[in-house]
Chains A and B, each alone.
Chain A
Amino acid sequence: MKELTRKLEKYNVLEVDDNTKAHDRLHVHETDESENGGGHGHNIQEKKRVSYKRTQTEELNKKIEDSKRQTKIKKEYIEKKEGGINEMDESSRRIIQTSFSNREDMDTDINQVGKTTFEEIMVEIRLKYLLILKSIYWNHFDSAQMASDTFIALNEAVDIAIDNKDSQIDDWSTILKWIITQDTDVRKYERTV
């Protein structure tokens, strides 16, 4: 009888232990799932954000290409003038016909387009952006939020970017060069601090 009770007790205890272990296992499994779920959700959000940005850039590039093509067609039309429209292919003819409602509008608009191209507008806006940037640097320096060396480096980078305003803004590469040449000595002694 005693043996039987011992066995029962053992059995119960074992059962309890198994239950607790199973519970623990389940708990661990749940937490793992929740963690993985959270990470997965974050990844999806990140992917969505990246794909949205990519589509935006693609759309913009497409628009730019379209506007370049339209400008080219309009220029061709100006060169050919009277009767030139008949020599154009159908898509180009449609662009010319949809662009202008009547003959007077056509002439004035074509003259304007001939003077200001898409690239010129981009260059002008880029220049405006760089000048705003330069004024902000000056403001920061004037209100003593920036050291003189910093101002010199940043101002020089903007000046170089303004000189190369026909190409994309790339003032970061100028600053990076400056930082690296200043940094080379510092990196040697990184471990001592």
Chain B
Amino acid sequence: MPILGKIFKKAFFSRIAGVYDILVNFIESHKKAQKLLRSVINDNDFVHHIILEGSEMVKGAEIYNKQNIEEVFPEVCQAIQSRTVQQTILNKTMHQIDDMLHNGQIEDKDAA
């Protein structure tokens, strides 16, 4: 039974993590796109109309995220957030090492 529980918990966690990942990226990307669109096109009326459409989508996602994920599974959210931070730090470090190798500051052996 404990083994079943572990398998079950893992599957459950991965599904919730997937949904949370989708929601977070969806909201963040829409907000970024709205900023970029404002900076690219100066016509406020047309852009404002499209941004309102995007904001409605973001609002829907935020409400769903709050009601069904963050309030129901706060521990899962925290775990995913910390995992994302770890991933980001590792990526940044990897890029930095690549840059240093490219500039000749370190050798292949050190980079590996």
Query: Chain B: which residue is nearest A144 at the CB level?
Result: B91
A contact set with B: CB distance below 8 Å: 56-57, 60, 63-64, 121-122, 125-126, 128-129, 132-133, 136-137, 140, 143-147, 149-150, 153-154, 168-172, 175-176, 178-179, 182-183, 185-186, 189-190, 192-193
Verify B25–A128 contact, CB threshold 8 A.
no
Verify A128–B32 contact, CB threshold 8 A.
no
Query: Chain B: which residue is nearest A63 at the CB level?
Result: B45
Chain A residues near B51 (CB, 8 Å)?
Answer: 129
Chain B contact residue count (CB 8 A cutoff):
44
Chain A residues near B19 (CB, 8 Å)?
Answer: 179, 182-183
Q: Between A and B, how many residue pairs show CB distances below 8 Å?
A: 106
Chain A residues near B68 (CB, 8 Å)?
Answer: 183
Say if the beta carbon of B33 comes within 8 Å of chain A: yes
Verify A172–B37 contact, CB threshold 8 A.
no
Chain B residues near A125 (CB, 8 Å)?
Answer: 37, 41, 46-47, 50
Say if the beta carbon of B40 comes within 8 Å of chain A: yes
Known A125-B50, A145-B88, A186-B16; 6 more pairs at CB < 8 Å? A136-B33, A136-B36, A154-B22, A189-B8, A190-B72, A192-B8
Tell me the bound Cα distance from A57 to B51 in angstroms: 12
Chain A residues near B50 (CB, 8 Å)?
Answer: 122, 125-126, 129, 169
Majority secondary structure, B binding face: helix
Chain B residues near A60 (CB, 8 Å)?
Answer: 45, 48-49, 52
Indicate the member of A57, A150, A170 with the most B CB atoms within 10 Å. A150
Say if the beta carbon of B60 comes within 8 Å of chain A: yes
Tell me the bound Cα distance from A178 to B41 in angstroms: 32
The residue that A129 contacts in the complex, of B25, B28, B54, B72, with Cβ under 8 A, is B54
Q: How far is the CB of A181 from chain B (nearest CB, A)?
A: 11
Tell me the bound Cα distance from A38 to B87 in angstroms: 42
Verify B54–A193 contact, CB threshold 8 A.
no
Verify A147–B15 contact, CB threshold 8 A.
no
Verify A154–B46 contact, CB threshold 8 A.
no
Chain A residues near B91 (CB, 8 Å)?
Answer: 143-145
Chain B residues near A126 (CB, 8 Å)?
Answer: 50, 53
Verify B87–A153 contact, CB threshold 8 A.
no
Query: Chain A: which residue is nearest B51 at the CB level?
Result: A129
B16-31: contact bitstring with A at CB < 8 Å (1 yes, 0 no)?
A: 1011011101101110
Chain B residues near A128 (CB, 8 Å)?
Answer: 37, 40-41
